[in-house]
Amino acid sequence: VKKNRNIRMVSRLLQAAAEAMADAYAPYSRFRVGAALLASNQKIYTGCNVENVSYGLTICAERVAAVKAVADGQREFRAVAIVSDGTTPPFPCGACRQFLAEFALPGMIVAAATRKDLADPRLLTLRELLPHAFRLDKKGTTSRRASR
Ligand code: THU
């Protein structure tokens, strides 16, 4: 039962990511990406890539979705789906893996698919994509009060 529910949720997320891709601003690479993130409040936050004429300022779709969720008070991510109009499933870049890891619940799912093959996603956990994510030890963190 739970498995079926998860499969349905992943396809909902993939659908939402494909729709978010329509808003991608990618005049330089012409590579459009959409992301849809499920937070623990059960809401879906979407994002698209936003490029810049100063190329390195480009922000990936995954990070746009993540900051939207956090700005809405959500700090626990269950799953993210990523869709591109390329020919291979778009796994998140290294920077986005670390960015997502900050707010990932244990077992957070990453689903990646091409627009043409939405029904055939690649499924991995974020942990599989980013083992040994960077963390600060207790001594290195600011006080709880300062980080809230
Ligand atoms: N891009 C994403 O949005 N997500 C990724 O995971 C990888 C790359 C975007 C950045 C840039 O606008 C375009 O794809 C080509 O690199």
Segment 84-111 shows an average pLDDT of: 97
pLDDT digits (tens, 9 = 90+) for 40-75: 999 999 999 999 999 999 999 999 999 999 999 999
pLDDT digits (tens, 9 = 90+) for 119-141: 999 999 999 999 999 999 876 55
Question: In the predicted model, is pLDDT for residue 96 greater than 60?
Answer: yes
Angle value at C-alpha 38, between 64 and 135, nearest 5 degrees: 70
Catalytic residue among 19, 51, 62, 102: 62
Give the distance (Å) from ligand 1 centre to CA of residue 9: 24
Give the distance (Å) from ligand 1 centre to CA of residue 44: 20
Ligand 1 atom having least distance to the Cα of 96: 6
Whether 62 is catalytic: yes
Question: In the predicted model, is pLDDT for residue 92 greater than 70?
Answer: yes
What is the percentage of the chain residues whose pLDDT exceeds 70? 93
Buried b (16+ CB within 10 A) or exposed e, 2-25: eeeeeeebbbebbebbbebbeebe
The ligand 1 site (C-beta within 6 Å) comprises 26, 29, 31, 33, 49, 51, 58, 60-62, 90, 92-93, 96
